Amino acid sequence: MSDPVNLLGLDAEGLARTCQGWGEKPFRARQLLRWIHQRGEADFAAMSDLAKDFRARLAASACVRPPAVLQDHTSSDGTRKWLLDVGAGNAVETVFIPEAQRGTLCVSTQAGCAVNCLFCSTGKQGFSRNLEPAEIIGQLWWANRALAKSAADARPDASSGAPSPVSGPVAGAAAGAERYISNVVFMGMGEPLQNYAATLVALRLMLDDNAYGLSRRRVTVSTSGVVPMIDRLREDCPVALAVSLHAPNDALRDQLVPLNRKYPLAELMAACQRYLNDAPRDFITFEYVMLDGVNDSDQHARELLSLVRAVPCKFNLIPFNPFPNSGLRRSPDARVRRFGQILLDAGVVTTVRKTRGDDIDAACGQLAGEVQDRTRLAQRSSRTIAIAELR
């Protein structure tokens, strides 16, 4: 017998094809989307408006299987992090960040990352594999269920710090459903645009009114600058775009973000301009980690202004979150303020990201998970260090 198909990782088109192969009509796919994603149901027997014989076929041929949860940690500031098992000794991390008017889920797309940015702990672990669509959307599926359960368990005690539902209309939500996640950012482990096919399926599910019904403006893909796939995303499923910039010139960015050697800044800025033609927002968000003595001088800020002058944008300055053996330091607060003020004075919207969840290693750049590195990055790095020391 063949393995059961995991319906969690199928978008509307994929579910329709699967139902057609079973001799079912297209509306069955819409019913399954609503049961699986809106109601978070994994038990086919509970899907009461499906025909009994169809439920029997589903039980025999399909499943709804998210990644298993290995660890569940909650920070003192309410940030919550899950470690999810994706098999073969690999685990990825997902983070929920609650705020007064929104709840943001940060999802991972790869076990590890091949980009190897200098300031990111994920990259230091190397790369194992791309996640499947069910493993990406499964993070949202699981978080919805876990947050709803925590809130239900805490209702007798309103002071417990459990998440509150996001206010306002919820597109695509089941009648009476409470929604705790209003925004999703692809800013967890991995480079989303290097796992494009699976990322695209997850995006389509997030936007589908029969599934999660999120607005394109509230789903953000963050990339280190995979230029051809930025163009593909613009054509296939334009959502909000964030670019991990981190340097104002090619010489420095080559060191901080090695992908820049393949797609230098001039190509990246041109891709950003093209993306804005179809983007749901009228600006690109540039992320910029603040590294003491590396990229945080007044001159760096002025270079940035010159670099982005033709790209409507906002800057998100990120205080560096240290991790073992990084060799880097966080820019002092006064330096971050001065850097940001130069950008603001030039008319560029600039914010400083508030560090959340750093007591559970859930802050930006700290997600590491557990990765069986197929690139042998650690061995290659140690050999490089040894050669340098010999010199």
Question: Catalytic residue among 19, 113, 272, 364, which?
Answer: 364
d(CA 228, CA 249): 20
Question: Catalytic residue among 19, 24, 93, 113, which?
Answer: 93
Number of residues that this document lists for the chain = 391
For the question of residue 19 being annotated catalytic, the response is no
In this structure, the strands spanning 80-87 and 68-74 are: antiparallel
For the question of residue 364 being annotated catalytic, the response is yes
Cβ neighbours of residue 122 closer than 8 Å, sequence gap 6 or more: 112, 113, 189, 190, 365, 367, 368, 369
The CA dihedral of 281, 286, 289, 293, to the nearest 10 degrees, is -150
Write out the DSSP string of 214-225: --GGGEEEEES-
d(CA 344, CA 355): 21
Write out the DSSP string of 361-379: T-STT----B---SS-HHH
What element of type H or E holds 289?
A: strand 284-290
Instruction: Give me 168's structure tokens.
Output: 């306002």
> Count of CB atoms within 10 A of residue 217's CB?
12
d(CA 249, CA 251): 6
CA distances from 83 to 80, 199, 216, 379 (A): 10, 19, 27, 25
- Residue numbers annotated as active site: 93, 364
